[in-house]
């Protein structure tokens, strides 16, 4: 699959249909749309063909990834400014708090893309259970989070700071390692297909080398929704299909 890049028609639509001033529309295009979808989405898409599925992009921002997705796809974002812009260029975007607002009215999807969101949310488990509810049977979830490198002191090496400190951003309230990300997702009803600090692709061989797979700041998780999933025997919760995704026994 070829790299996704904006066409002249996409550029024209963003600049002309954007709901802000020409100067602001151009700023948004140059920063968020001109580079094309970020490398993480490109890598997952090449292997799992997300753009051939109806997806929900949670934390979609201005719609720079959603723009490439199949008809029927939609985004969710909590921010008014970004949501308004995405809708103005013809994308379907719901402005709501995914963790707390109702989801029953949203169409079920074949895949979910969620990048750089879980580190911000108050309840990771509830968030993931709600993602599972939004997926059709067998649907895919693809998640990116920043992670804590195994050697945090690498940040003091010239040139490595920005590659080893993403998890420290002031608005982050959760931190992950690849292992904890996998545990969170599997304990919320997903079968792990891929856990890739080095992203799906040729470099993914490094994911299987102990310690090397912890040198980078960031990890992609790809999983499949398990049909009729239930918590382990002896758990105090049982899975439900209501808005929370579980209840206590």
Q: Is residue 210 part of a domain?
A: yes
Burial string for 198-218 (b: 16+ CB within 10 Å, else e) reads bbbeeebeebeeeeebbbbbb
Report how many domains make up the chain. 1
User: How many CB atoms neighbour CB 176 within 10 A?
Assistant: 23
CA distances, 220 to each of 59, 87, 179, 217 (Å): 16, 28, 11, 11
Q: Is residue 82 part of a domain?
A: no
Q: Is residue 146 part of a domain?
A: yes
Q: Is residue 209 part of a domain?
A: yes
Residues 6+ apart with CB under 8 A from 105: none
Predicted pLDDT at 206? 66
The whole-number mean pLDDT for each consecutive block of 10 residues of the chain, a chain of 249 residues, reads 90 96 98 94 94 98 97 98 98 96 95 97 97 96 92 73 80 93 97 84 66 74 97 96 90
Predicted pLDDT at 163? 72
Q: Is residue 41 part of a domain?
A: yes
CB–CB of 143/119 below 8 Å? no
pTM for the model stands at 0.91
| CATH number, position 237 | 3.40.50
Q: Is residue 90 part of a domain?
A: no
Q: Is residue 2 part of a domain?
A: no
Predicted pLDDT at 150? 77
Predicted pLDDT at 202? 65
What is the dihedral sign for C-alpha 70, 228, 103, 44? negative
The boundaries of the domain holding residue 211 are: 37-59+98-248
Predicted pLDDT at 209? 64
CA distances, 179 to each of 43, 126, 196, 211, 228 (Å): 20, 19, 11, 12, 24
Predicted pLDDT at 182? 96
Q: Is residue 74 part of a domain?
A: no
């Amino acid at each position: 699959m070829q790299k996704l890049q904006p066409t002249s028609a996409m550029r024209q639509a963003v600049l002309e249909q954007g709901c802000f001033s020409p100067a602001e529309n151009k700023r948004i295009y140059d920063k968020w749309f001109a580079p094309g979808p970020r490398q993480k989405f490109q890598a997952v898409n090449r292997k799992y063909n997300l753009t051939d599925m109806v997806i929900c992009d949670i934390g979609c921002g201005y719609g720079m990834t959603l723009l490439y997705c199949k008809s029927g796809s939609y985004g969710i974002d909590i921010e008014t400014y970004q949501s308004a812009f995405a809708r103005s260029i013809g994308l379907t975007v719901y402005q709501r708090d995914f963790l707390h607002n109702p989801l029953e009215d949203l169409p079920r999807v074949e895949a979910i893309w969620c990048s750089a969101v879980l580190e911000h949310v108050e309840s990771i488990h509830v968030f993931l259970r709600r993602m599972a509810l939004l997926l059709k049977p067998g649907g895919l979830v693809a998640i990116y989070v920043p992670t804590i490198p195994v050697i945090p002191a690498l940040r003091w090496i010239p040139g490595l700071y920005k590659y080893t400190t993403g998890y420290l951003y002031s608005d982050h309230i959760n931190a992950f390692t690849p292992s904890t990300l996998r545990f969170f997702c599997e304990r919320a009803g997903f079968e792990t297909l891929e856990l890739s600090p080095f992203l799906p692709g040729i470099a993914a061989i490094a994911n299987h080398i102990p310690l090397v797979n912890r040198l980078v700041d960031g990890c992609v998780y790809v999983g499949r929704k398990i049909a009729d999933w239930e918590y382990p025997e002896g758990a105090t919760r049982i899975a439900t299909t209501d808005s929370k995704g579980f209840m206590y026994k």
